[in-house]
Chain A
Amino acid sequence: MSELLRLSISEANDLLSRRKVSSVELTTAALQRIRNSDDRLRCFLTVTDDLALAQARRADERLARGETGSLLGIPLGIKDVILTKGVRTTAASRILENFIAPYDATVSRRLFEAGAVCVGKLNCDEFAMGSSTENSAYQVTRNPWDHDRVPGGSSGGSAAAVATGQCIGSLGTDTGGSIRQPAACCGVVGIKPTYGRVSRFGVIAYASSLDQVGPMGRCVEDCARILSVIAGHDTNDSTSVEVSVPDYAEALGPSCKGLRVGIPKEYFVEGMQPEVEKAVHAAVAQFERLGAVVSEVSLPHTEYAVPTYYLIATAEASSNLARYDGIKYGLRRGESDGLLAMYRRTRAEGFGTEVKRRIMLGTYALSAGYYDAYYLKAQKVRTLIRRDFEKVFAQQDVIVAPTAPTTAFRVGEKTSDPLQMYLSDIFTISINLAGLPGISLPCGFDAMGLPIGLQIIGRPFEEARVLQAAHAYEQSTEWHKRSPPD
């Protein structure tokens, strides 16, 4: 593999601005890497060679004019639930198999305006519903550390592609852990921003009150650089918030002095992999060495997070996915047999098993006579979960916890047991319900050499503090320097 593909964004940025390397060279290396490795890894659903090279050439022109910019000329991958104008965008679903996005998502537009290069669209669970990327209608992405294992999900392609150097960074989306859990599984860094921090306009909706776009990279600083570009208020997304965006990379430093770190006791549960628990405790000790003040805290409603999530997320999904009806775009089947048959066949053939399961769950939860007992109750519990965090954050600056209870599991291991699969997100889901920012970064490896993820959670809109804590920890350890076998 080309050395170019192990560069961090700031290293690449430096070489680009000193004209030691061109964006076209960097991009060509990434495309070459994808060609050589993706028949095994299966990270990309669409490789956008022509677009990438055109964008790289334009970036080189801008660089030649002396322009600078932290993402100018940097090859990135974009999860296939994020619209990219003129490029096929499928949400890893058959129902959008031939859908060419008619417009750019706000995050895509911001990346492109900043001069970033899109090398392709990354595989994920269909409509971002899953924890292993096995629910993709097209392919199973492999974990770069062990090809028999899953990369996590739903942003499995985004995590694996970054881990293996197919691109320098990527965008994922996180509704219940879909950036952080695959980041943990693949040994990379991924941050889910505060709900409202990043525009959702042009992001194919799974659960509107939970979805957030976030960056994935091989180090905290890379994520900080990408986040600075994509974050910020967007008039096209009424739920995006007008809070100014700091330069997240600028604020990073080595110290955690006086940082108050809460360790939630509910996040160390029976049945979790002992090596994960051990690695997280070791990381906590490292925080203390860096000057942090560590206390045990309690988030008492944690045990209700999974059921609460699977009511709210599926309810919203059942409505969000109603537009895929064969009328306007995407797959259409059975049109000669009348409207009802067309709806039925289009959706029966267009959606996969997990998507159908969640549509049915959500439809049920919203139905007359059940709404109060399920959806409304879940909203009330969501409020309790949010309050748990508010109470802890009155005393603590960040919360540190494991990202997932285990390292990456084997392909096929949990596909027949949806409930087991849902538990992969047991430590990440609450953060979405509370709308908080959360990052996952490597904090060790298990006996099989699989990466372990550490999660750091912050107050609303305190991404800078979360990134700072993560960066300080990362720079005091060597975990992020390990690469998967080529």
Chain B
Amino acid sequence: MAQAFAAGLKSMDYEAVIGLEVHAELLTNSKVFCGCSAKFGAQPNENTCPVCLGMPGALPVLNRRAVEFAIRAGLASRSTVAACSRWARKNYFYPDLPKGYQISQYELPICTGGAIDIDTSAGSKTIRLTRIHMEEDTGKNIHDAHGDSSLVDFNRCGVPLLEIVSEPDIRSSEEAGAYLRKLRTLLQYLEICDGNMEEGSFRCDANVSIRPRGTTPLGTKVEIKNMNSFRNVERAIDHEISRQAAVLRDGGSLVQETRLWDPDREATRSMRSKEFAHDYRYFPEPDLLPLVVSNEWIETVRNALPELPDARRQRFVASYGLPEYDAEVLTARKDVADYFEAAVRAHANAKAVSNWVMGEMLRLIKERHLDAALIIRAWPVLPERLAEMVALVDGGSISGKIAKTVFEAMVKTGKAAPDIVAAQGLTQISDAGEIDAAIDAVLAANPDKVAEYRSGKDKLFGFFVGQVMKATQGKANPQKLNEILKKKLQA
């Protein structure tokens, strides 16, 4: 019987229960409790002052802009923004934490509740949020750069963060990925976070447990850290689900612990177990007053909210007549959607512009790593220039094929399409006489092929087209070429 039971366990089907904690760095100009610049990329410890260095006697002063950003996030995620929330100290020792405590929120966070809607292959689903709270970021320890000793860079210390905690509503790595992408898109639309996982401005920890499918009690929770890309989050979750299932199937039991994802080994390893979990000794921060947010403030922020991604996607379908898929891809990034709309304003062929943006443009941006953090950097083609090029195609000045060449030249040189077309002589040949002459020359050079065609080998038509195109350097107007060639071959 024991064997039968074990066999039952082995064949048991498990369901994953996943909650995500996201840390989003806010794009304020200055830090959350002092006036230092919050910008990334300065020389080590350039952006520091007595407050963010935890000097004796220094006191925090709240940056109201960071609060406004938190309210934006709360409203956009349908959270309740608290009229009064409270700062708390989270106490632990670490070199990158200069005060020996992090100013955070604990019992009374600024936002509670809320939800994010996601779409997956299985359909749409709502992931509830537990809370959103504000806190300060830590510095960065730098090891092995200076002999045996470690260095600390406090530039990041005090940069405002939102911690966004989901309910354990996520059931798969796919849902986790969809949730993170959706959340990142939302924060980007709100212009409060650049969402760069590699640079660490958008970080994610996952709480993963499994339970036999169809049961409700929660299994033992494992926290996974150190996942610095969406793909790593998905892989780490998949790996952790399999690992937990394997332990249970072998009759073992899971321990509540924190595990680190090792992307090179494609595995998680234990960092600390529950017994060694920190006691953070939270208590209300006596150096700051409770955070009071008036209704007027909330309404001011609400009225200034930009169009959010879901609404924009629907509008792209309704007002531009774009397919759902196009609308989805274009609106996934605010900068891309803005670019698209600017181009369409200049030349109202939405589908053609969409094809160019989704196709060539996103491909080149990806290939050349011109984007970082969902903000297009160093993309040389202004939306009006793209529109101008599409207009050349639509007006018959260049062929779609030539357009690709022109577009690549635009990206390389930053020049306008008409200039490139003129300089390289790429204007489409639509003049019947010119095409006529080119065809005659090709037919004259290939009498045997002409004979074969005329005896029924229709497939050779393409050969003749290719030869004429070659002779005209691809500039022949394809429609006219087809027309005239057909006539001549029939003759």
B286 touches A323 (CB 8 A): no
A366 touches B91 (CB 8 A): yes
Binds A, one of B47-55, B172-180, B326-334, B349-357: B47-55
Q: Does A132 contact B (CB under 8 A)?
A: no
Chain A residues closer than 8 Å to B91, beta-carbon distance: 318-319, 322, 366
Kindly identify which residue among B281, B282, B286 contacts A363, using a CB–CB cutoff of 8 Å.
B281
Q: Does A32 contact B (CB under 8 A)?
A: no
Chain A residues closer than 8 Å to B44, beta-carbon distance: none
B54 touches A328 (CB 8 A): yes
Q: Does A105 contact B (CB under 8 A)?
A: yes
* Bound-complex Cα distance A235 to B283 (A): 24
Q: Does B462 contact A (CB under 8 A)?
A: no
B288 touches A201 (CB 8 A): no
Binds A, one of B95-103, B111-119, B268-276, B396-404: B95-103
B62 touches A238 (CB 8 A): yes
A323 touches B279 (CB 8 A): no
Q: Does A273 contact B (CB under 8 A)?
A: no
Distance between B181 CB and nearest chain A CB, rounded to angstroms: 36
* Bound-complex Cα distance A461 to B55 (A): 29
Distance between B98 CB and nearest chain A CB, rounded to angstroms: 6
A91 touches B283 (CB 8 A): no
Distance between A107 CB and nearest chain B CB, rounded to angstroms: 10
Distance between B292 CB and nearest chain A CB, rounded to angstroms: 12
Q: Does B61 contact A (CB under 8 A)?
A: yes
Determine which residue in B56, B99, B100, B288 has the highest number of CB atoms from chain A within 10 A of its CB, and name it: B56
Contact with A along B417-446 (1 / 0, CB 8 A): 000000000000000000000000000000
Contact with A along B43-74 (1 / 0, CB 8 A): 00000001001111111111000000000000
Chain B residue nearest to A340 in the complex (CB) = B93
Determine which residue in B55, B95, B101 has the highest number of CB atoms from chain A within 10 A of its CB, and name it: B55
B98 touches A204 (CB 8 A): no
Q: Does A295 contact B (CB under 8 A)?
A: no
Distance between B171 CB and nearest chain A CB, rounded to angstroms: 31
Distance between A415 CB and nearest chain B CB, rounded to angstroms: 26
A325 touches B93 (CB 8 A): yes
Distance between A365 CB and nearest chain B CB, rounded to angstroms: 9
Contact with A along B279-291 (1 / 0, CB 8 A): 1011100111100
B61 touches A91 (CB 8 A): no
Given contacts A200-B59, A236-B61, A323-B100, contact A102 B287 (CB under 8 A): no
Q: Does B317 contact A (CB under 8 A)?
A: no
Chain A residue nearest to B33 in the complex (CB) = A238
| Interface of chain A, main secondary structure | loop
Q: Does B131 contact A (CB under 8 A)?
A: no
Q: Does B152 contact A (CB under 8 A)?
A: yes
A91 touches B56 (CB 8 A): yes
Chain A residue nearest to B91 in the complex (CB) = A319
A323 touches B56 (CB 8 A): yes
Q: Does B89 contact A (CB under 8 A)?
A: yes
Number of interface residues of B (CB under 8 A): 29
Chain B residues closer than 8 Å to A339, beta-carbon distance: 95
Chain B, 78-104, CB within 8 A of any chain A CB: 89, 91, 93, 95, 98-101
* Bound-complex Cα distance A316 to B55 (A): 17
* Bound-complex Cα distance A99 to B55 (A): 10
Chain B residue nearest to A343 in the complex (CB) = B93
B57 touches A367 (CB 8 A): no
A323 touches B99 (CB 8 A): yes
Given contacts A322-B91, A327-B95, A327-B98, contact A204 B281 (CB under 8 A): no
B100 touches A366 (CB 8 A): no
A322 touches B61 (CB 8 A): no
Chain A residue nearest to B283 in the complex (CB) = A366
Determine which residue in B58, B152, B286 has the highest number of CB atoms from chain A within 10 A of its CB, and name it: B286
B62 touches A319 (CB 8 A): no
Q: Does A203 contact B (CB under 8 A)?
A: yes
Kindly identify which residue among A200, A205, A236, A319 contacts B283, using a CB–CB cutoff of 8 Å.
A319
* Bound-complex Cα distance A239 to B100 (A): 21
Contact with B along A176-202 (1 / 0, CB 8 A): 000000000000000000000000111
Kindly identify which residue among A103, A209, A235 contacts B50, using a CB–CB cutoff of 8 Å.
A103
| Interface of chain B, main secondary structure | loop
Chain B, 141-160, CB within 8 A of any chain A CB: 149, 152
B57 touches A204 (CB 8 A): yes
A235 touches B61 (CB 8 A): yes
A201 touches B279 (CB 8 A): no
B100 touches A238 (CB 8 A): no
A366 touches B61 (CB 8 A): no
Chain B residue nearest to A99 in the complex (CB) = B56
A208 touches B50 (CB 8 A): no
A201 touches B283 (CB 8 A): no
* Bound-complex Cα distance A371 to B279 (A): 11
Determine which residue in A203, A207, A238, A316 has the highest number of CB atoms from chain B within 10 A of its CB, and name it: A238
A239 touches B57 (CB 8 A): no
* Bound-complex Cα distance A436 to B281 (A): 28
Distance between B488 CB and nearest chain A CB, rounded to angstroms: 85
* Bound-complex Cα distance A375 to B60 (A): 23
Distance between B387 CB and nearest chain A CB, rounded to angstroms: 50
Kindly identify which residue among B50, B57, B60, B89 contacts A238, using a CB–CB cutoff of 8 Å.
B60
Distance between A311 CB and nearest chain B CB, rounded to angstroms: 11
* Bound-complex Cα distance A375 to B282 (A): 11
B286 touches A238 (CB 8 A): no
Q: Does A113 contact B (CB under 8 A)?
A: no
A323 touches B59 (CB 8 A): no
Chain B residues closer than 8 Å to A469, beta-carbon distance: none
Chain B residues closer than 8 Å to A363, beta-carbon distance: 281
Chain B residues closer than 8 Å to A89, beta-carbon distance: 56
Chain B residues closer than 8 Å to A343, beta-carbon distance: 93
Chain A residues closer than 8 Å to B100, beta-carbon distance: 319, 321-323, 325
Contact with B along A335-358 (1 / 0, CB 8 A): 100010001000000000000000
Q: Does A96 contact B (CB under 8 A)?
A: yes
Determine which residue in A91, A200, A236 has the highest number of CB atoms from chain B within 10 A of its CB, and name it: A236
B101 touches A319 (CB 8 A): yes
Q: Does A83 contact B (CB under 8 A)?
A: yes
Q: Does A457 contact B (CB under 8 A)?
A: no
Chain B residues closer than 8 Å to A148, beta-carbon distance: none
B61 touches A238 (CB 8 A): yes
Chain B residues closer than 8 Å to A208, beta-carbon distance: 286-287
A selection of 16 A-B contacts at a CB cut-off of 8 Å is A82-B57, A89-B56, A103-B50, A205-B57, A205-B287, A209-B286, A235-B61, A238-B61, A239-B286, A322-B99, A322-B100, A323-B98, A323-B100, A329-B55, A339-B95, A367-B281
Counting from the closest, the 8 A-B pairs by CB-CB distance are A322-B100, A208-B286, A366-B281, A209-B286, A202-B57, A204-B56, A323-B54, A368-B279
Known: A205-B287, A366-B91. 4 other contacts (CB 8 A): A209-B286, A239-B286, A319-B91, A322-B91
